[in-house]
């Protein structure tokens, strides 16, 4: 499958790879250069492969209250929140952002590309309330403009004042050349900026204008190293149907106070019984790169496994996210088995670097 920006990726000499069936650029000039551009000026990312699902109608609120983990009943218009679909065991079917388009009437869910089909089937099979579910993924493009210069570039192209918006809100702005833009002050890089939803047909023109004003095209590689530096989890790597939000330190996105949602009982039980493992950060002390699947040991005893690993382009050292047994504390040293070597790493609390704007709420 191709996004509406595929020709732009070709034009910018993107190296195209298969990503869950999507032909996407992994990099253009190089991961490090793109990563640093996003941290110091502005990067532009095609995220059009992600899914956009609208949930509408009189029963949309009770339905959404039951199938995702945030309380949306009092969510104000044009607010965004990070949330989960959970299974009955509290495992994460997908992580998503919920957009309140019209309170009580209309919400948009932005879900992971590789999970869109699965999510839609799951939502339909749990739709006892009879909410109106509309998959708008095909006709919707998503351009992420991230970095300290994102606001200036977006303003110069569209006149939109991102600085005047609060983090985790969005605005629907009609424009002549690009149709209606849904501009959300969110992101997956920790560098600040916006995510812009728009009709697929308008996407190439907006991409051209934003890049012409200096936004540097960035591929999936930089998207991954940027999110990893911030400690943001990636579904399929760090979180999945066998891990819970509590184990992943993502309690902030679960409202255990709301009456009921799928997976709540399992989470309440887990909270009562205590966690056996937690998702933590690892900062390598020497050379080497930890990778997904590397085993972790402490004093010769296996204590966990790496779920995402790379090298931080900002720090120049290996960093990772790993599930470690609860007995391992922040500040401890563990050995990460990278091929035939045991590399020393320090257990830390992400983010690994300070982004220009860290909008993920403090973890508790």
Partner 1 sequence: MNIPDDLYYTENHEWGKVEDGDLRVGITDYAQEELGDIVFVDLLPEGTAVSRGDSVGTVESVKAVSEVYAPVDGEITEVNPALEDAPELVNQDPYGKAWMVVIRMTDPSAARSLMDSRAYEEYVKAEAK
What is the contact mask toward partner 1 in residues 206 to 245, using x (rule: CB under 8 A)?
---------------x---x--------------------
Q: Are 12 and 197 spatial neighbours (Cβ–Cβ below 8 Å)?
A: no
Neighbours of 336 (CB within 10 A): 26
Asked if 26 is part of the footprint of partner 1 (rule: CB under 8 A), the reply reads: yes
Residues in 27-86 that interact with partner 1 by CB under 8 A:
27, 30-33
Q: Tokens 């034009």 sit at which residue? A: 11
Choose the stretch contacting partner 1; rule: CB under 8 A; options: 172-180, 202-210, 257-265, 288-296. 288-296
Q: How far is CA 20 from CA 14, 23, 100, 235, 242, in A?
A: 17, 9, 28, 13, 20
- 22, β-bridge pairs: 19
Applying CB under 8 A, among 98, 311, 321, 328 the residue interacting with partner 1 is 311
Q: How far apart are CA 322 and CA 345, in angstroms?
A: 11
The string of DSSP codes covering 172-218 is EEEETTTEEEEEES--SSSB-EEEEEEEGGGHHHHHHHHHHTTPEEE
Identity of the residue, 11 or 32, whose beta carbon is nearer to partner 1 in the bound complex: 32
Identity of the residue, 36 or 92, whose beta carbon is nearer to partner 1 in the bound complex: 36
Q: What 3-state class would DSSP assign to 280?
A: strand
Q: Cβ of residue 35: shortest distance to partner 1, in angstroms? A: 8
- By CB under 8 A, the count of residues binding partner 1 is 17
Q: How far apart are CA 342 and CA 362, in angstroms?
A: 32
Choose the stretch contacting partner 1; rule: CB under 8 A; options: 115-123, 231-239, 241-249, 309-317. 309-317
Applying CB under 8 A, among 147, 288, 350, 355 the residue interacting with partner 1 is 288
Identity of the residue, 27 or 84, whose beta carbon is nearer to partner 1 in the bound complex: 27
- 179, β-bridge pairs: 175
Q: Cβ of residue 167: shortest distance to partner 1, in angstroms? A: 28
Residues that bind partner 1 (CB under 8 A): 26-27, 30-33, 221, 225, 287-289, 291, 310-311, 313, 316, 339
């Amino acid at each position: 499958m191709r996004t509406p920006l595929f020709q732009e990726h070709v034009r910018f000499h993107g190296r195209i790879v298969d990503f869950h069936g999507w032909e996407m650029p992994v990099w253009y000039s190089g991961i490090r250069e793109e990563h640093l551009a996003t941290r110091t000026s502005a990067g532009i990312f095609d995220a059009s492969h992600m899914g956009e699902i609208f949930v509408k109608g009189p029963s949309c609120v009770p339905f959404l209250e039951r199938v995702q983990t945030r309380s949306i009943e009092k969510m104000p218009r044009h607010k965004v929140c990070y949330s989960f679909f959970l299974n009955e065991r509290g495992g994460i079917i997908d992580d998503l952002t919920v957009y309140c388009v019209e309170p009580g009437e209309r919400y948009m869910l932005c879900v992971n590309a590789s999970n869109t089909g699965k999510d839609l089937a799951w939502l339909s099979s749990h739709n006892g309330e009879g909410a109106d579910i509309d998959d708008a993924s095909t006709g919707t493009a998503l351009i992420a403009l991230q970095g300290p210069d994102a606001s200036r570039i977006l303003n110069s192209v569209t006149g939109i004042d991102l600085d005047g918006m609060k983090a985790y809100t969005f605005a629907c702005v009609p424009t002549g050349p690009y149709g209606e833009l849904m501009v959300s002050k969110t992101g997956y890089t920790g560098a600040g900026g916006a995510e812009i939803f728009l009709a697929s047909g308008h996407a190439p023109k907006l991409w051209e204008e934003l890049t012409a004003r200096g936004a540097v095209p960035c591929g999936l590689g930089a998207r991954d190293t940027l999110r990893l530096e911030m400690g943001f989890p990636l579904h399929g790597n760090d979180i999945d149907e066998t891990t819970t939000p509590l184990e992943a330190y993502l309690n902030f996105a679960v409202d255990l106070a709301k009456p009921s949602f799928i997976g709540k009982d399992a989470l309440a039980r887990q909270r009562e019984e205590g966690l056996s493992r937690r998702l933590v950060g690892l900062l390598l002390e020497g050379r080497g790169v930890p990778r997904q699947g590397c085993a972790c040991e402490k004093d010769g005893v296996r204590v966990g496994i790496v779920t995402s690993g790379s090298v931080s382009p900002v720090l120049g050292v290996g960093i990772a996210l790993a599930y470690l047994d609860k007995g391992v504390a922040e500040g401890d040293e563990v050995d990460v088995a990278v091929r035939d070597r045991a590399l020393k790493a320090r257990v830390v609390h992400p983010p690994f670097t300070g982004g220009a704007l860290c909008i993920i709420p403090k973890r508790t």
